[in-house]
Amino acid sequence: MTRWTSDLAEELTCEIMLKMAGIHLTRCDDRPETGTEKDVVYGFLDGEQTMQLQLAAGKSFFRRLAANIIGGEPEDEEEVREYAVEFANVLCGRFVSEICRATNTVARFRPTVYGGAPEACEKLEAVHFVSDRQEEITFSWSRDAMAAFLKREMAMKIEVMIVDDSRVVYAEMKKMLADTDFEIVGFCRSGEEALSTYETVKPQVVTMDIVMPGMDGLDAAEELLKKWPDARIVMVSSLAYGDTTGRAKELGTKGFIYKPFDRDTLIAALTEAVKDGE
């Protein structure tokens, strides 16, 4: 889940920065920091554990951020800080909302403050970025508190999207997955529908039939993995000859279930797919 958290931080930081300020960021965890002095905007998530969140960047970057949002130069340093806090509130708010949703946690986010972070700060986990002007930006959060939040994820249902043109197969899977750790969050009857639905529901695992009207399951899996490389797909089909299973493996799918299948086979394949993607 550490990877999931850092990927989420990357996605949200880049997306919100581009939308609010038109600034392109690139993740660069392997790039050594130059040691440039940074200002920090920080806030807290209060719940069973208190998590600190920080956005750090140089003064010149925060000035540029404010100018881009305003559409002109900020009047003074107070206005720069105001826009830095506004951006951090949006970013941190989105980040903690996704964490709380994924872990079924109820918590309260305290709005961010511009200034030096508290001295008694526990160890932070961070994602580093450089801007299109090579400015350094870091978004970080309390490592131990995040680990405690994410432990709750184990008790959550694993979301499954079923892609099959047969309602009979859907009904069978629904019955098999009742009272398990899996929850069906989407049902698609074509490859095209799977691509559009996946973007909306973002399930943790997908079952994919092969023979369907329009785009078949192998082509749909290929397109889906091009756009979302971390997608976990389990192929489900009676077409179990070498070319089919071989191509499915080459595409990067996480398993192959042969029709007809039983409950134990389905659950085992879905569980293995989720573990393989962590």
- What CATH number does the domain containing 7 carry? 3.40.1550.10
Residues 147, 202 within the same domain: no
CB 19 within 8 A of CB 68: no
Instruction: Specify whether 80 is located in the same domain as 173.
Output: no
Nearest by Cα to 43 from 107, 130, 129 = 107
Q: What is the mean pLDDT of residues 260-270?
A: 94
pLDDT at position 119 over 60: no
104 and 130 share one domain? yes
What range defines the domain where residue 241 resides? 157-276
The pLDDT assigned to 2 comes to: 63
Are 15 and 141 within one domain?
Answer: yes
pLDDT at 8 over 50: yes
Tell me how far apart the alpha carbons of residues 177 and 263 are, in angstroms, rounded to a whole number. Answer: 8
Same domain assignment for residues 37 and 97: yes
Q: DSSP letter at 114?
A: E
SS3 266: helix
Q: Are residues 26 and 142 in the same domain?
A: yes
Asked which of 139-153, 200-214, 263-277 is least confident by mean pLDDT, the reply is 139-153
Of 119, 152, 185, at which residue does a domain stop? Answer: 152
pLDDT score for 12: 96
The whole-number pLDDT of residue 83 equals 96
- Which residues 6+ apart lie within 8 Å of 250 measured at CB? none
